[in-house]
């Protein structure tokens, strides 16, 4: 009889230990949160699955790197966002006529051993942008700024030929703040919509709680040059391109296949132009009287 009691006691002990271990708070980790905001409203995809429209928020996600994609008409923007347990990552994006003229940032938090202050890392597109914190210049991106006081701070990122980006967010002791900023081109004559006062959002280190919106200063609507594109009622000899719809109702023609190249003209949706050459993301067209320029291939359909 005794030889059967010992195995039974061992089994019961294993079961009790398993229950204790799996119920231990040390193994319970808070979920990761994500908040996505855009101007104007756009469809949100998480790891290539449509999850709703902006403003979007989810407080019960697993940690790790996720792909966030925003889709507005013919414009698609996506980025990798690292989610950390016990924090909320925030994505804010403002659409322009194309990706070149769009702007936004990704704000994430990572745990730190310093409980009394915070640090800030800023990377940007383009590189070597100037970073100011509360009006004080801190360096050029990519930059690490340490020993920041907790509480709200204003970060301004700027670069020549690009529009400044102002981000107001809250810093927490025991956390490192990471900001990835994309600046919009500031080419002369650019039409910039005035954003709604929803602004970039503030991440929090509290699981399941989404930070409140912080208003962003309004931008100014500036005059635009008259479109110079020429409508072609019948298809051109191939190869040619047809201009697609854009959020602003026109598409910028640039002197070179570059986001920072100067504007040569503007063309309108539905117009057709002879295709002269192409590079990744760009089509070279002939417009007006044998003038040549480059347009984003995102807003043109090629026929050949």
- At 130-179, the pLDDT tens digits run 999 999 999 999 999 998 898 899 999 999 889 999 999 988 888 899 99
Please check the confidence at residue 124 and state whether its pLDDT lies above 90.
yes
Q: At 276, list the tokens.
A: 């002269």
pLDDT > 70 in the chain, percent: 74
Is residue 230 within 8 A of residue 271, CB to CB? The reply is yes
Q: What is the mean pLDDT of the chain?
A: 78
Q: What per-residue confidence (pLDDT) applies to 112? A: 84
Q: What per-residue confidence (pLDDT) applies to 5? A: 61
Residue 167: which of 141, 147, 187, 206 has the closest Cα? 141
Q: What per-residue confidence (pLDDT) applies to 200? A: 42
Per-residue pLDDT tens over the stretch 244-300: 887 667 888 889 888 777 888 989 898 999 999 998 888 999 998 889 999 988 788
Per-residue pLDDT tens over the stretch 24-63: 443 345 688 999 999 999 999 999 999 999 999 998 899 9
Strand order in the sheet with 151-158: 136-140, 130-133, 151-158, 165-171
* Mean pLDDT value across residues 90-113: 92
Question: Of 4 and 242, which is predicted with more confidence?
Answer: 242
* Mean pLDDT value across residues 188-204: 43
pLDDT > 90 in the chain, percent: 42
Cis before 40 (ω within 30):
yes
Query: Taking CA 141 as the corner, what is the angle to CA 137 and CA 142, rounded to the nearest 5 degrees?
Result: 130
Q: What per-residue confidence (pLDDT) applies to 118? A: 87
**DSSP string spanning 57-94?**
EEEEE-SEEEEEEEEETTEEEEEEEEE-TT-EEEEEEE
CATH class assigned to 240-303: mainly beta
Please check the confidence at residue 230 and state whether its pLDDT lies above 50.
no
* Mean pLDDT value across residues 67-71: 95
* Mean pLDDT value across residues 10-25: 52
Question: Lowest-pLDDT range, 91-100, 227-236, 282-291?
Answer: 227-236
Q: What per-residue confidence (pLDDT) applies to 11? A: 61
Most confident range, picked from 23-37, 75-89, 198-212, 226-240:
75-89
Question: Of 151 and 232, which is predicted with more confidence?
Answer: 151
Tell me the domain boundaries of the chain: 30-182, 240-303
Q: At 204, list the tokens.
A: 């929090």
Please check the confidence at residue 19 and state whether its pLDDT lies above 60.
no
């Amino acid at each position: 009889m005794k030889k059967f009691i010992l195995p039974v006691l061992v089994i019961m002990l294993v079961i009790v230990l398993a229950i204790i271990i799996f119920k231990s708070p040390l193994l319970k980790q808070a979920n990761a949160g994500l908040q996505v905001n855009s101007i104007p409203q756009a469809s949100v995809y998480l790891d290539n699955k449509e999850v709703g429209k902006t403003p979007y928020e989810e407080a019960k996600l697993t940690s790790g790197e996720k792909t966030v994609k925003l889709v507005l008409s013919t414009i698609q923007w996506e980025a990798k966002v690292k989610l950390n347990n016990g924090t909320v990552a925030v994505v804010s994006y403002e659409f322009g006529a194309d990706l070149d003229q769009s702007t936004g940032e990704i704000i994430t938090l990572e745990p730190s051993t310093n409980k009394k202050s915070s640090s800030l890392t800023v990377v940007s597109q383009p590189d070597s942008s100037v970073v100011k914190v509360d009006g004080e210049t801190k360096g050029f991106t990519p930059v690490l700024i340490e020993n920041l006081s907790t509480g709200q701070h204003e970060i301004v990122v700027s670069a020549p030929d690009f529009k400044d980006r102002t981000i107001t967010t809250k810093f927490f002791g025991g956390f490192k703040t990471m900001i990835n900023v994309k600046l919009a081109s500031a080419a002369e004559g650019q039409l910039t919509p005035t954003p709604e006062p929803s602004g970039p959002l503030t991440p929090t280190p509290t699981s399941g709680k989404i930070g409140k919106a912080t208003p962003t200063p309004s931008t100014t609507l500036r005059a635009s040059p008259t479109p110079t594109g020429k409508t072609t009622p019948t298809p051109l000899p191939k190869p040619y391109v047809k201009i697609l719809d854009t959020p602003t109702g026109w598409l910028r023609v640039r002197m070179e296949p570059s986001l920072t190249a100067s504007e040569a003209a503007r063309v309108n949706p539905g117009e057709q132009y002879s295709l002269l050459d192409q590079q990744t993301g760009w089509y070279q067209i002939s417009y007006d009287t044998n003038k040549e320029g480059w347009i984003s291939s995102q807003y043109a359909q090629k026929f050949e």
